[in-house]
Amino acid sequence: MYLSWLGLNCFKIQTKDSVIITDPFQDQTGLKMPRLQAELVLVTEPENSQFNNIQRLSGEPFIITGAGEYEIKQIFIRGLADQLNGQPLQPGSKTLYFFEIEKIAFGHLGAIDHLLTDAQLEIFEDVDVLLVPIGGNPSLTAEKAAEVISQIEPRIVIPMYYKTPGLKVNLQPLQKFLTVMGIKTPEESSRLKLTRNELPQDETRTIILKP
């Protein structure tokens, strides 16, 4: 499969027979959401224009906007309502997603702004590829993102939700996260090929996807 980042929390995951889109954004963010066909869409905050531009997508996709367990085209998805101290932050406000595609487990943390609770960590501790916000305001800051990465210990980290050219949302730049993580020469790619057999075994790799 192939993983591409379109900006903010929006990813395109291309398998041999499906396209999965996460958090398609509205044009008022300053970014232009491309017109794409999709079979599955995951939305972490359906009331937030940064994450809910479903109208830009074609193909009559199956749309998930909240907590629950789903299986679509052999893709297992678990949506988990964001909670802190065991209580929902706001009913229906944020959903975190764990999903498994071609035997690779993904964690999409939306715009989470706190460390994972024990209950959340039980779901995300087996994640292979972690999609984690790093730009603060109001998501995880670079420092807190590093702590969440340490909690989960994924095989691959893909930072998201940070400042990019043209973006009108006030977020921190990528460089702050790289400094916190001690990464001097980041590994970059415009599209990442993922297979189970080629996942890192003894380390966590941070890969910067270019939109």
Mean pLDDT of 157-162: 98
- Predicted pLDDT of residue 202: 86
Provide the residue range defining the domain that includes 148.
2-209
Lowest-confidence range among 21-25, 114-118, 158-162, 186-190?
114-118
Distances (CA, A) of 49 to 27, 33, 66, 127, 203: 9, 12, 16, 27, 36
Q: What is the CA radius of gyration of the chain?
A: 16
* CATH number of the domain enclosing 128: 3.60.15.10
Higher-confidence residue of 209 and 49: namely 209
Q: Count of domains in the chain?
A: 1
Angle at 171 (CA atoms; ends 106, 98), nearest 5 degrees: 15
Note the pLDDT tens digit of each residue in 46-89: 999 999 999 999 999 999 999 999 999 899 999 998 876 555 55
- Predicted pLDDT of residue 62: 97
Mean pLDDT of 189-193: 97
Look over the chain and give the mean of its residue pLDDT values, rounded to a whole number: 94
CA distance 55 to 48: 14
- Predicted pLDDT of residue 183: 96
User: Edge-to-edge, what's the strand order for the sheet holding 10-14?
Assistant: 62-64, 40-42, 19-22, 10-14, 2-7, 192-193
Closest residue by Cα to residue 5 from 174, 197, 201: 174
Note the pLDDT tens digit of each residue in 104-143: 999 999 999 999 989 899 999 999 999 999 999 989 999 9
- Predicted pLDDT of residue 82: 87
- Predicted pLDDT of residue 90: 57
| Beta-ladder partners of 201 | none
